[in-house]
Structure 1
Amino acid sequence: METKKVWFVTGASQGLGLALVKKLLAEGYNVAATSRNAASFKNEIPQSSNFLPLEVDITNAESVQRAIDQTVQVFGSLEIVVNNAGFGQLGALEELSHEEARKNFDANVFGVLNVIRSAAPYLRKQQHGHIINVSSIVGFYGEFGGWGVYNATKFAVAGLTEAFSAEMKPFGVKATIVYPGYFRTNFLQSGSLKTPENTVEGYTALRASEKAHIEDIAGSQPGSPEKAAIAIADLAQNENPPLHLFLGSDSFGLANAKVEILQKAIADNQAVSHSTDF
């Protein structure tokens, strides 16, 4: 592997982000890693010359810009960016307030945009680089009640990444959307998963689903974050990386199910689709 490549990873103090940073450092890469609290890295990653811990508020454009600039100043370049920071928001659409929904979009979508805006000028100028945006399988297959706002943020990440890929192609910069399924991280814990502040009576199935995710599914997810880290590290070595990458057998299965649903809907309604042309 090329040890000179510089990685910038957001949301890196836990879960998939932390597993990825550990993998990259073990392989000799230079890594800048962000967290809301840089001190959280101390117990997980020893100090070294190729590790730059950064305290960043991804919802604040100035904070993100400082972090990107500092990364380039310390390591001399920037090649690979992984947008992994974010959190989950549970709740039926009518239950969630504007503030709750906005906070989820601020972190999961506008945080990604802040990083892209700050990193793109460096990547475009050097005519190479790779931005990897971590979405979720629910950003492709969204038929999960109680996850609507979170789903929407992850669909948005996928949509903006597709456009970004087209925009940056002339400059030699690549983009990939990663759609993880259930991975055995702390995502389903209170710090990463929020429940609605006010609930509406009658959503019995949603309350049961919330309880199951927090009490039963947490800790028994099928995906290994360490294996996901290997997959993402390998992805960056691909000269022609995929725009879409589904991680986990559950994600792979749901992606195929969604494709089948779309193919059937398209075929069944072909006459209606064509009927609206002049």
Structure 2
Amino acid sequence: MSSKRILITGAGSGFGEGAAIGLARAGHEVIATTQIYPQVTALREKAADLGLGNLRVQKLDIRDPYDVEAALKFDIDVLFSNAGIGEAGPVSEIPVDLLRNNFETNVFAPLNLAQKFIRKFIDEGRPGKVVFTSSMGGLFTPAGFGPYVSTKHALESLAEALDGELRPFNIKIQTVNPGAYLTGYNETMAETAFRWLDDSKNFNKRADVQAGFDALIGVPEGQLDPQEMIDAMIRIVPSDTGKFRNVVPAAVEQMLKESQQAAWTHTV
């Protein structure tokens, strides 16, 4: 596998930061982008401390049209679309504007950026690749996390459509689907519900919602070592071949297959 030029969104923390550093260490030319300038400064300092001259850090808020246009000036081989936010809480009562905002960041903005780079690849007559960070939640829906995982279900569908549409142009599409890794993302996402849930107004009670979160992410199976997923991203993102969908770890892939099979006999 040759060295690749890779742009990563959402590299200010978690998987994105870890993958950016790991890909640069592996010899790739990496443009790591973050949503806000303080994250740019922090990651630049880390890159300098690590001696990674091939890790460039830039600001890219994927919902900012000026940032997007500036990013399109980079010549890249791979777009690793990793940026996203999470809203949690009961779908039956979540304010719809919060859900709409989650879709803007996790679905519409990534698609807009991908479309622009795809057109650039096509206009330049060269191959390219887009990798989307989806989630295990893109393939099933646990109660309490419906707002966030519905955006990943949508992203899965768009990625699948892009895969079929772009094969004639030698542009490859993949998803990476992390399990419940302990990056802090799931834990802070769970907190979002409690800024609007009110026991005096909502029929979903705060204690019950919290208990549901604890059952999913407050157990060892919900706090996996994120380095496993970062290592998988470092391997998958620059690869020339591989699976369209990449669920990690293998135990979660098996669980998802069983869950999807069970859906065919689910009754109400």
TM-score if structure 1 supplies the norm length?
Answer: 0.82
Say if 1:32 and 1:54, in contact at 8 Å, map to a contact too: yes
8 Å CA contact retained: 1:33, 1:52: yes
Task: Report the equivalent of 2:46.
Answer: 44
Aligned to 1:234: 235
Contact 1:175/1:243 (8 A) holds in 2 = yes
Please state whether the residue corresponding to 1:190 is helix, strand or coil: helix
For structure 2, the residue ranges without an aligned partner over 5 or more in a row are none
Q: Which residue of 2 aligns with 1:30?
A: 29
Call closer, same or farther: CA 1:193–1:16 in 2, change over 3 Å. Answer: farther
Which residue identity does 1:58 align to in structure 2? Answer: I
Note if contact 1:41-1:53 (Cα within 8 Å) is conserved in structure 2: yes
Aligned residue for 2:111? Answer: 113
How far apart are residue 187 of structure 1 and its match? 0.8
| CA distances 1:56-101 after superposition (whole Å, capped 9, x unpaired) | 11122332221131x22xxxxx111111111221111133212211
Q: CA deviation at 1:264?
A: 4.9
Distance 2:171 2:68 in 1: 20
Partner of 1:64: 68
- Quick check: 1:178–1:246 contact (8 Å CA) kept in 2? yes
Does the 8 Å CA contact 1:184/1:219 hold for their aligned counterparts?
no
Cα separation, 1, equivalents of 2:235 and 2:87: 30
- Which residue of structure 1 aligns with residue 223 of structure 2? 221
Distance verdict in 2 for CA 1:128–1:193, change over 3 Å: farther
After TM superposition, give the deviation of residue 201 of structure 1 in Å: 3.5
- Measured after TM superposition, the shift of residue 258 of structure 1 is 2.5
How far is 1:262 from its partner?
A: 4.6
- The alignment-based identity, stated in percent, is 23
1:195 to 1:39, Cα distance in 2 relative to 1, 3 A: farther
1:218-239 deviations in Å (ceiling 9; x for gaps): 99612x3333222223224544
Check whether the contact 1:89–1:150 (CA below 8 A) recurs between aligned residues: yes
Contact 1:96–1:196 (CA under 8 A) maintained in structure 2 = no
**TM-score, normalised by the number of residues in structure 2:** 0.85
Measure the CA separation in 2 of the matches of 1:209 and 1:56. 34
Worse-superposed segment, 8-17 or 37-46: 37-46
Task: Give the aligned partner of residue 276 of structure 1.
Answer: none
Match of 2:145 among 144, 147, 151: 147
Whether contact under 8 Å (1:141, 1:254) holds in the other structure is no
Q: Which moved more, 1:82-91 or 1:243-252?
A: 243-252
Given that 1:60 and 1:114 are in contact with CA atoms closer than 8 Å, whether structure 2 keeps it comes out as: no
Q: Secondary structure at the match of 1:126?
A: coil
Q: What residue in structure 1 maps to residue 203 of structure 2?
A: 201
The match for 1:53 is: 57
- Conserved? CA contact 1:8–1:32, under 8 Å: yes
Which letter does structure 2 place at the counterpart of 1:2? Answer: S
Retained in 2: the 8 A contact 1:12–1:85? Answer: yes
Asked whether 1:260 is paired with 2:261, we answer: yes
Matched, 1:245 2:246: yes
Question: Per the alignment, in what secondary structure is the counterpart of residue 145 of structure 1?
Answer: coil
Q: Cα gap change, 1:149/1:191 in structure 2, threshold over 3 Å: closer, same or farther?
A: closer
Q: Alpha carbons of 1:88 and 1:258: their partners in 2 closer, same or farther (altered >3 Å)?
A: same
In 2 relative to 1, CA 234–81 (structure 1 residues): closer, same or farther, beyond 3 Å? Answer: same
Structure 2: distance between partners of 1:20 and 1:27 = 10
**Among 76, 84, 87, which residue is 1:86 paired with?**
84
